[in-house]
Amino acid sequence: MAGRGVHTGHPAQVRIVAAAPGSGRCFVRTDLPGAPVIPVSPAALRPSVLSTALEVRGVSVQTIEHLMAALWNAGAQDVRVELDGPEVPILDGSAAPWVDLLGARSCPWVGPPLRRPLVLREGSSWVAALVSQELRFSCGIEFPDPIGAGWVSFAVGRGSFRDEVAPARTFAGRSEVERLRASGGLRGGDLTCALVFDEGRWLNPPLRFADEPARHKLLDFIGDLALLGAIPRAHYVAFRAGHRLHGRLALALARGATGAPPAG
C-alpha cells in the first residue's frame, strides 16, 4: 500500500509482514540506515495533538492510528509494518483501505476484563474506562455546524468494525486546514483524504454516514487504545477527546489499571 502522509506530505510504501509467534508488533523504518525498529507500545507514544506518533531512540513513525485500528480488528498480534518514510499514508482518511488489505478476517484482540474504573479529564474533555461485561467504545462530540453534537457506540461482537467504523473519514475545518498549511503542516492533505467544512457546510459531500465525524472519532479512539495490544474488556467512553487524551488512557491502562484492587 502506498500513499502520502497527510502531515509531512512524504510518500511511503507500507508492507505488512507476518512475524514469528510471540514477537509482537512493530514498525520498521526501511528508509533509514540499519532499518530501525519501533516496537508498538503506549510507552513509545510521542506527544501529538493531530495524529498518533511513536518514537524510540529518536526514530519515529506518525499517523499510525487508522492502521493500528485495522490491525487490532484483524487480530494481528505478531506483525512487522515496514515503511520507507516517517508517516503512514493517509489514503482516503479512513481505515477502510487497511481493512481491505488485511482481508475479511475480523478477530478483535480482546483482553481480560477491567477491574477498576478509570476517568481522565482535560478541561471540558474526558475519557473513561468503565467496568463492563462487553468490550464497547462510545464517543461523544460537540462541534460547530455542520458536524454538531452527538454520540456513537460500537460493541465488539454486536456491530461490524468493517462496515460501521472503518469507512468513516477524518474531518477538518477549512480555517484549520489553512492555519496548519501556513505553519508548514498538512503537506499531504487535500479534499480526497478528509471531509472538509466551511461556514456551516461540507465542501466535499456526500458523507458515508450521517454521523461520519463521530464514527471517525470512534475509529481514532480504537486505534489509540490498540497500542495496548489486547484491549481489556470494558466500556471505553470519550467525550470531546482527541489523540492526546486517548494516549493518556492507553498509558494508564498499560501501567496496570487493569490489575486487581489493592488488598485492604
Considering the complex, state which of residue 66 and residue 248 has its C-beta at the smaller distance from Zn ion. 66
Considering the complex, state which of residue 48 and residue 170 has its C-beta at the smaller distance from Zn ion. 170
User: Residues for the chain: how many in total?
Assistant: 264
Stretch that binds Zn ion, among 11-19, 96-104, 170-178, 245-253 (CB under 5 A): 170-178
Q: How far is the CB of 61 from Zn ion (least distance, A)?
A: 15
Contact assessment for residue 219 and residue 13, using Cβ atoms and an 8 Å cutoff? no
Per-residue mark of binding to Zn ion, 70-109 (x: CB under 5 A): ----------------------------------------
Q: How far is the CB of 157 from Zn ion (least distance, A)?
A: 24
The answer to whether 212 contacts Zn ion (rule: CB under 5 A) is no
Contact assessment for residue 118 and residue 253, using Cβ atoms and an 8 Å cutoff? yes
Which amino acid does the sequence have at 144? P
Determine whether 243 is an active site residue: yes
166's CB contacts (< 8 A; 6+ apart) are 69, 70, 73, 94, 95, 96, 98, 99, 219
Q: Which residue has the cell 489486547?
A: 230
Q: Which of 122, 157, 123, 107 is nearest to 137 (CA)?
A: 157
Interface with Zn ion (CB under 5 A), residue total 2
DSSP 5-16: -TTT--EEEEEE
From 7, 216, 235, 243, the catalytic residue: 243
Considering the complex, state which of residue 139 and residue 237 has its C-beta at the smaller distance from Zn ion. 139
In degrees, rounded to 5, the angle at the alpha carbon of residue 164 between the alpha carbons of residues 161 and 168 is 105
Q: How far is the CB of 216 from Zn ion (least distance, A)?
A: 6
The answer to whether 220 contacts Zn ion (rule: CB under 5 A) is yes
Q: Which residue has the cell 477549512?
A: 174
Considering the complex, state which of residue 83 and residue 193 has its C-beta at the smaller distance from Zn ion. 193
Q: Which of 10, 201, 213 is nearest to 93 (CA)?
A: 213
Considering the complex, state which of residue 212 and residue 258 has its C-beta at the smaller distance from Zn ion. 212
Stretch that binds Zn ion, among 33-41, 194-202, 203-211, 214-222 (CB under 5 A): 214-222
The only residue of 8, 73, 138, 170 in contact with Zn ion, by rule CB under 5 A: 170
Q: How far is the CB of 170 from Zn ion (least distance, A)?
A: 4
| C-alpha to C-alpha distance for 150 and 190, rounded to whole angstroms | 26
Q: In what order do the strands lie in the sheet with 149-155?
A: 118-122, 125-130, 235-239, 136-142, 149-155
Residue showing the smallest CB distance to Zn ion in the complex? 220
Q: How far is the CB of 249 from Zn ion (least distance, A)?
A: 16
Binding site for Zn ion (CB under 5 A): 170, 220
What positions carry a catalytic annotation? Answer: 243
